[in-house]
Amino acid sequence: MRGQLEVVPAERRDRWAALVEEALAPGVHPRDFREANGWVVRAFQGALAAVAGASGPLDAIERAVRGGNDTDTVAAIAGSLAGAVWGAEALPASHAQGLHGWPGIDGAMLAHRARVAVGASAVSGRG
């Protein structure tokens, strides 16, 4: 979870490394970042703590929500991080059924666009 710090501009790397370390410290829980977790940095720390202490993606999202305050923001970030760690396949299919974006964009289209965004081969011809 520290692997991408090298892409952070050098003048900010130490600050972000410290924020990541704070979120990954032993025994840390998302509730430890509850205060001001509507602020993107605190929300990220809460989400990172949720994923780091989780046994899987659903556990990470639940931990994020149980952190309190701006739970939708923290859980959305935790879900994204959990997807990067465990992959979409780790989620029950039922969790993707109601997924949608703008009108007319369903879960399959969102998954296709995500694959395209990261340069992965697109399985479906949609999009």
CA distance 60 to 81: 9
pLDDT at 23: 95
pLDDT at 74: 94
When pLDDT is cut at 50, 70 and 90, the band that residue 125 belongs to is: very low
Q: What is the pLDDT of residues 11-26, one digit of tens each?
A: 999 999 999 999 999 9
Geometric angle at alpha carbon 56, from 126 and 20, rounded to 5°: 95
pLDDT at 54: 97
Q: What is the pLDDT of residues 64-84, one digit of tens each?
A: 999 998 899 999 999 999 988
Asked whether 71 and 64 are in contact (CB, 8 A), the reply is: yes
Given a cut of 70, whether residue 46 has pLDDT beyond it is yes
